[in-house]
Structure 1
Amino acid sequence: MSDSVASMDIEPSETHLVAAIDFGTTYSGYAYSTKDDYEKDKLKISPMEWKSPIMISLKTPTTVLLGPNKEFVAFGYDAESRYTKLAENDDHKDYFYFRRFKMVLYNEIRKSEKLTLKTTIPDINDKRLPAIDIFSHAIEYLQKHLLNDLNSRGTGITNPEEIYWVLTVPAIWDDAAKQFMREAAKKANIPGENLTIALEPEAASIYCKHLSLEKGDGDEGFKVFQEGSRYLVLDAGGGTVDITLHEIQKDGKIKELEQASGGAWGGTYVDQAFYDILEDLLGKQHFERYQRDYAADLMEIYSEFEHKKRGLESVTDETTCARNISLTIPLSLKHFYKSTFDKDIEHSSGEGFVWCQDKLRISCQRFSDLFDVACTGIVNHIEKLLNLPRAEGTNTILMVGGFSESLYLQNKIKDSFKHIKIVVPIQAGLAVLKGAVLFGHDPSAISVRVARYTYGVNTCVKFDRRCHPQSKQVKIDDSWYCKGVFSKHVQKGDVIEIDKATEDHPYVPIHRDQKSISFKIFTSSEDDPKYTDDESCKYLGSLEVDISGLQRESEKSVRLKFIFGGTEFKVVGKIEDTDKEVDVKFQFLEDNPRVFDEENVCIDD
């Protein structure tokens, strides 16, 4: 990050309004509340209403349409509608259509293991553009949409600087992904000092806690938010699923008991299982051709499946499963199949599904099988967390996120955890969005978090042949050192209070004329890694401490403190002799991880 970390955030009270953007895999939206409204009624939060061709909803599809010259054309329902019309007239092939690109980015990161500002993502036709551009287009559109709405209401708020912005991210996203969202917002002209990042399950937890206060402690469903209560938050979105454990403290604030974890078990996992049926039917190459040539019809198939998916409750429900689930399929698919394989599509009927004219009839059991991989992953992970010592006393599962509105998933969780109370708030899909607004007004609502990884920096120490491997011995000036030592600042699982610094470490530069001290930051899944090239270690980014203004030799020792309690960690550097703070800059999104000259690496003093 190019700015000094210590000055990352401003107080929300300095702005007139807090606005949150919930960037979902499938749907996105924004909501806001003024400072006055928050003080009078914390739940007076205004989400935007979006008009689709058939309904009004509180979120719009996470879809971006760019023109042939990569210029922004449309977002959300408007992007879907315009692309469909282009496809119907066969004018779509030069356009760029990005659908559910948050999950696409997540998958790209998993493949490359490194997110940079040059990371690209494919559109629906596999044409790639920089991910940062697509995300910034979406954020800029939502930002301008809000400002236009506020202007039409006569609020007098006309520019982003008057708004404190909150962007939501999955809790399982790493620090590089959080910085990526911050950089995308900056590219969309949201001032960095007016922006904070909110973790999705935490935001939902904050909202439900306030909701329970409004409903009163007499409501059985929300007794979970009494002092000392422990509950599991299941944030099931369209793409990823975040699961964590929370406890209500004496002061009413929320304490994280276990670091957030989860996986790619969201609603789109169910969609992909259905798309696999179509791909198996046509073969990968022919399915990709159908996507290109019949884009409008493919979108119709997606829409039809989404509607049927939301209606499934369980395979044991006699009303739901008395008949096959029937999906209307465009005739173009039948014609495409006939021209490609020289036989009717009815001949491809398989176990649990039958093609009949313009219908695909799927048995209830086969349809429910589409849910099983996602639901099994969620259930197994919850069981694992509930068996942890920190989970003792947890007697409630709070289900939030769009996928949590699925009756099938709700019934699966209830059947799997009969001894635990299951709470699903009204409009569970809006819990994250509204909670993010509340978090923007009061970031201290979460007071304690748990470190997901062990964090440290790359250093050199005096070589000791009794404990250091010969392969790491390096001569610097006239002395021998061990290179690549992991200097630990926080350990995985450590319970960290918000904005409380970890124990600081002293470092000194190697050369007297050095103008800065450079570090590599690493994370580890192990508690106590020895070297930064251990198998458990992952390079996170670079950190640079400016010491150009220092003159005396005795001033050159720098104490480095990491502050991990926030959603984005901070770093503070101080001169040991004078206690003077110095600028600290870090970068997690380097195009090429910087290769440090060993002679420029600081020595752990």
Structure 2
Amino acid sequence: MADWNNDIRVVISIDFGTTYSGFAYSNKLNPEHITNDTWPDRIGQLKTNSVLQYSDSKFTQVSEWGCPALAQKPSRRNQKKNGPKPVELFKLHLGNMPDSEKPPIPKGLDYKRAITDYLREMGKLIKETVEMRWPNLDFMSQVLIVMTVPAEYSEQAYAIMRDCAHKAGLIRTKESEKLQFSTEPEAAAIYCMTVLKEHFLTDVGTNFLIVDCGGGTVDLTTRELLADQRLGEVTERTGDFCGGTYVDKEFIKFLKRKVGDSAIKLLEEQNYGQLQYMIQEFCMKVKLPFTGVKKDYKLFELDLEEVCPVLKQYTTGAAKAKLEKDEWIIDLDFETVKSFFDPVIGKIIRLVSNQLNNGNDCSAMFLVGGFSESKYLQRRIKDEFGMQVKNISVPKQPQAAIVRGGLEYGLNMKTIKTRVLKWTYGIELSPQWKPGDPPERRISHNRIDIFSKLVSRGTVVDVDQEFGKDLYPSIEDQTAASMKIYKTPETDGKYPNEPGMEKLGELILDFPESYLGYNRKLRFTLTFGQMEIRAYCTNQNGKSVDAMFNLEL
């Protein structure tokens, strides 16, 4: 481990999530793991909402963050419109979904600014919390921050997160090594590894599946227990948008059928806090207790006058007449609530089935993430896969699995030993064009640019494993060489500019002793580190160049 790590006294793990965020911390000398449960206006919860409320329409100052920024208990006397609408789901702008599907950001506010502002507010609470516990702590010098991120993040997303963390005051410089990243599936796996002993699964070679059921996404990864409490990755990560908030979306669709689309639209635009309060009431009193067993279910009466009185103003026509007759009470019976869950759980079951059908025997399956606490989801998973996987369980505090796994990673960054590559990596070469090659690809000096593969997607690589290639001059008197590095989602490729190819970067190095002509070589290597790829090239005189890229898994 690098020398900078010797200064670290405290490790802090931040799980900055799409819908909920949290943090945990530990002192390296006395590694008691503490997950924060004290938030603005909330005590006892392990996460708070990833939401901001600004004081004005110019977004000059954050007035609320977390839960208070989102949900407002309605008052029958005060039915005024809200101030500026809360800003949420801004993390999704870092992902690889099409721009058309990304949630809107208010005009005048950049998503990077929203991320920075949220991290700044959380950072204030983090500093206050750890410095209260360790008053002599030098935060910038003696704290290592591990931030958990989605596995599909690009190099650009990592760079943006670093920049936002720096501007938020969490690290001294943007390049600081005291900010490290761990992917969310890896963090979940590390957390689950700590509970394997509870299930008497300690044999090297044991495979286990982690199903991380978050608010927005569900991610799956199969891991192998290796010697010395290290982990290997067995299969490529899979996932989809089928987290717990999609049950809430089904509930809103149901409400639209009861009060009308226009009423819900007006509620979203003018009284968003009341809408969110109603959703939270649904979650606490209906969604969380729902077991999927009919005899356990008691009919729930949703009293709109109590949880969302302003809807009475927005509902018109036949819908209003019907609700007035029913005294503004909507019955949520068993089959209705079950219909909210079934499309979402159906997707999760298909994801699990695909992972298990990859041919690797699984000794255990761990459900983590906030949605994994759903008794109905647990029962459906056990009913579907109980014969295939004997040990299916939900670890303690599953909603904190990622943040606690990130903490474990920060305390021992050698936990991850192997990874399965999601990309094929290679470099551009320019050999002689020959008959049979595409004529339109012929370039100067009778050459052709091709993609030369170094390592294929699906390859299991050790941390710090190298993949190398000897390179020779394309031109006899060549005095410098350019190494262009590419990745592709395909298992191989032919040309650097074909569909799917993405340029990672470029290294330029002197090619000395031109009088030797073609009898010269460079040594080029890619090394897969903890969360970065290192590209390295050296010439026969010992001169070298290198570059770092984030490892997108």
TM-score normalized with structure 1 length: 0.79
How far apart, CA to CA, are the structure 1 residues paired with 2:224 and 2:534? 28
The 1:84/1:120 distance shift into structure 2, 3 A limit, reads: farther
Displacement, 1:561?
A: 2.2
Alignment of 1:40-119 (within 5 A): 44-51=32-39, 53=41, 55-67=43-55, 68-73=57-62, 74-80=64-70, 89-90=80-81, 92-93=83-84, 97-103=86-92, 105-106=94-95, 109-112=96-99
Supply the AA of the counterpart residue of 2:487: F
Q: Are 2:416 and 1:428 aligned?
A: no
Q: Answer yes or no: is the 8 Å Cα contact 1:520–1:542 preserved in 2.
A: yes
- State the Cα deviation string for residues 484-505 of structure 1 (Å, max 9, x = none): x222222111010011122245
Question: Number of residue pairs matched?
Answer: 537
Q: For residue 402 of structure 1, what is the aligned residue in structure 2?
A: 370
Q: For residue 122 of structure 1, what is the aligned residue in structure 2?
A: 104
The structure 2 residue matched to 1:30, chosen from 3, 23, 28, is 23
Supply the AA of the counterpart residue of 1:572: A
Q: Are 2:137 and 1:157 aligned?
A: yes
Q: For residue 345 of structure 1, what is the aligned residue in structure 2?
A: 320
Q: For residue 488 of structure 2, what is the aligned residue in structure 1?
A: 523
Q: Answer yes or no: is the 8 Å Cα contact 1:259–1:452 preserved in 2.
A: yes
How far apart, CA to CA, are the structure 2 residues paired with 1:280 and 1:502? 58
Q: Answer yes or no: is the 8 Å Cα contact 2:230–2:416 preserved in 1.
A: yes
How far apart, CA to CA, are the structure 2 residues paired with 1:134 and 1:83? 25
Q: For residue 481 of structure 1, what is the aligned residue in structure 2?
A: 447
The 1:459/1:264 distance shift into structure 2, 3 A limit, reads: farther
Q: For residue 141 of structure 1, what is the aligned residue in structure 2?
A: 121
Q: Answer yes or no: is the 8 Å Cα contact 1:460–1:481 preserved in 2.
A: yes
Alignment of 1:406-417 (within 5 A): 406-417=374-385
How far apart, CA to CA, are the structure 2 residues paired with 1:501 and 1:355? 73
Q: For residue 235 of structure 2, what is the aligned residue in structure 1?
A: 258
Q: Which moved more, 1:150-159 or 1:329-338?
A: 150-159
The 1:242/1:155 distance shift into structure 2, 3 A limit, reads: same
SS at the partner of 2:135? coil
Q: Are 2:535 and 1:577 aligned?
A: no
SS at the partner of 2:29? helix
Alignment of 1:168-317 (within 5 A): 168-189=148-169, 190=171, 191=173, 192-212=176-196, 217=197, 219=198, 222-279=199-256, 287-317=264-294
The 1:445/1:369 distance shift into structure 2, 3 A limit, reads: same
Displacement, 1:514?
A: 8.4
Displacement, 1:250?
A: 2.7
Supply the AA of the counterpart residue of 1:543: G
TM-score normalized with structure 2 length: 0.86
Unpaired runs of 5+ in structure 2?
Answer: none
The 1:558/1:573 distance shift into structure 2, 3 A limit, reads: farther
RMSD: 3.4
SS at the partner of 2:492? coil
How far apart, CA to CA, are the structure 2 residues paired with 1:194 and 1:19? 10
Q: Answer yes or no: is the 8 Å Cα contact 2:454–2:467 preserved in 1.
A: yes
- State the Cα deviation string for residues 333-381 of structure 1 (Å, max 9, x = none): 122012xxx3443548xxxxx9933333222222122222221111111
Displacement, 1:516?
A: 7.9
Displacement, 1:511?
A: 12
The 1:276/1:473 distance shift into structure 2, 3 A limit, reads: farther
- State the Cα deviation string for residues 247-284 of structure 1 (Å, max 9, x = none): 11133211111121111111122222223334556666
Supply the AA of the counterpart residue of 2:310: S
Q: For residue 562 of structure 1, what is the aligned residue in structure 2?
A: 526
How far apart, CA to CA, are the structure 1 residues paired with 2:115 and 2:179? 16
Q: Answer yes or no: is the 8 Å Cα contact 1:224–1:231 preserved in 2.
A: no
How far apart, CA to CA, are the structure 2 residues paired with 1:295 and 1:250? 52
Q: For residue 146 of structure 2, what is the aligned residue in structure 1?
A: 166
Q: For residue 346 of structure 2, what is the aligned residue in structure 1?
A: 376
